[in-house]
């Protein structure tokens, strides 16, 4: 990554309270506006200028132009000041495995509410989910992200599959992060957050530890692994949008094999938020909603966003190809998350 780009990573607040962030992606920077949901891959222009196009990975014509200065950036004639978020590399052990991690936390003594960002199936590094990490940090949370097992500076072996054994290892790593946060004097109320495969991991981890106080899940699977794999196979991993009759037939014949998160979720006594895209082609949202609704007597909140793909970006059909040309996140994703955190976490 270019030295200038690396130096600009962080969250920036405008005078009206709206926050944007510059986060690493593909060796460069992405811009995210937490108010509008706009998401853009940026290109550099002369004069410390960063340009973004009409879609996430569509550079032209320029629709977003940022000019950076010392300690801030300018957009549409208004300046955003860089937030004083502290970054600290740390490490801890999950059983015999050393996990390399990073803390983002607000300036000051705290104690701050905290969240562990749980990886999905990808070989995630500690910066992979910076888009979400800086959102939480900008709202006064300490945020722990980590290199997945066998990735970056973490020991162990990376495994992508959602086997029960692997999900157990991932849950143990998430809870090792919780234990590390509990050892610090500047942290209070620890939660878990993450998306996709992390939905299973979070359910399992939270059911195993009373130290987890809340969970916020984006596009996380609620059905058994066998059902999820049948849906993903039908959509070719999210690349096609099959007709409803084929979806119904595939799921009707799908076995309830592999890990089933529903018993773990039913055992929880914490608030949980699910944010789901109505057009998700990698996780079947209608079945997830039905499964959550069937677990009664819990503080579970579900938000389904029209036009949302698996990434919660706005699309026409929810396919993975559309996610790269999308203008960004569906309306309300970050506002709803912020409101839920205020009511369920920081207000307590």
**172-206 pLDDT, tens per residue?**
999 999 999 999 999 999 999 999 999 999 999 99
Q: How far apart are the first and last CA of the chain?
A: 41
Helices (H) and strands (E) in the chain, counts: 10, 17
Q: How far apart are CA 190 and CA 33, in angstroms?
A: 26
Alpha helices in 75-157 (DSSP H): 130-138
pLDDT digits (tens, 9 = 90+) for 48-85: 999 999 999 999 999 999 999 989 999 999 999 999 99
Three-state SS at 323 = helix
Mean pLDDT estimate for the chain:
95
State residue 4's pLDDT score: 62
Q: In this structure, what are the phi and psi dihedrals at residue 89, rounded to the nearest 5 degrees?
A: -80, 135
State residue 3's pLDDT score: 54
Structural domains of the chain sorted by starting position, each given as residue range(s) with its CATH number in brackets: 3-82 (2.40.128), 85-346 (3.40.50.1820)
State residue 240's pLDDT score: 95
Contact 165, 200 (CB under 8 A): no
Between β-strands 187-195 and 212-218, what pairing exists: parallel, antiparallel or unpaired? parallel
Number of other CB atoms surrounding residue 27 within 10 Å: 8
Give the chain's residues under pLDDT 70: 1-4, 348
State residue 146's pLDDT score: 98
Q: Is the peptide bond before 34 cis (omega within 30 degrees of 0)?
A: no
Number of other CB atoms surrounding residue 112 within 10 Å: 22
């Amino acid at each position: 990554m270019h030295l200038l780009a690396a130096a600009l990573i962080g969250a920036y607040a405008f005078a009206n309270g709206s926050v944007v962030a510059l986060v690493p992606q593909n060796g460069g920077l992405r811009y995210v506006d937490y108010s509008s949901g706009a998401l853009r891959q940026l290109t550099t222009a002369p004069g410390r200028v960063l340009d973004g196009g009409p879609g996430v990975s569509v550079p032209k014509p320029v629709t977003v132009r940022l000019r950076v200065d010392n300690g801030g950036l300018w957009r549409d004639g208004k300046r955003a000041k860089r937030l004083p978020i502290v970054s600290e590399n740390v490490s801890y052990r999950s059983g015999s495995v050393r996990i390399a991690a990073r803390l983002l936390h607000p300036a000051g003594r705290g104690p701050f509410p905290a969240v562990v960002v749980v990886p999905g199936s990808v070989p995630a590094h500690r910066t992979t989910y910076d888009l979400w990490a800086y959102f939480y940090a900008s709202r006064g949370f300490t945020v722990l992200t980590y290199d997945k097992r066998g990735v970056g500076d973490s020991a162990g072996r990376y495994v992508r599959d959602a086997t029960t054994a692997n999900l157990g290892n991932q849950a143990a790593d998430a809870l090792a992060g919780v234990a590390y946060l509990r050892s610090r004097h500047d942290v209070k109320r620890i939660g878990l957050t993450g998306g996709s495969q992390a939905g299973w991991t979070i359910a399992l981890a939270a059911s195993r530890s009373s130290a987890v106080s809340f969970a916020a899940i984006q596009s996380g699977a609620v059905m058994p692994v066998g059902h999820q794999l049948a849906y993903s196979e039908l959509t070719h991993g999210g690349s096609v949008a099959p007709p409803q009759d084929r979806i119904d037939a595939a799921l009707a014949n799908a076995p309830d094999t592999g890990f089933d998160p529903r018993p773990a979720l039913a055992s929880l006594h914490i608030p949980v938020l699910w944010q789901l895209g109505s057009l998700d082609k990698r996780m079947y949202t209608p079945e997830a909603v039905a499964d959550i609704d069937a677990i009664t007597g819990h503080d579970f909140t579900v938000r389904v966003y029209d036009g949302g793909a698996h990434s919660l970006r706005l699309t026409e059909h929810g396919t993975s190809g559309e996610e790269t040309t999308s203008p960004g996140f569906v309306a309300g994703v970050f506002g709803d998350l912020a409101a839920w955190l205020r009511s369920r976490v920081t207000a307590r």
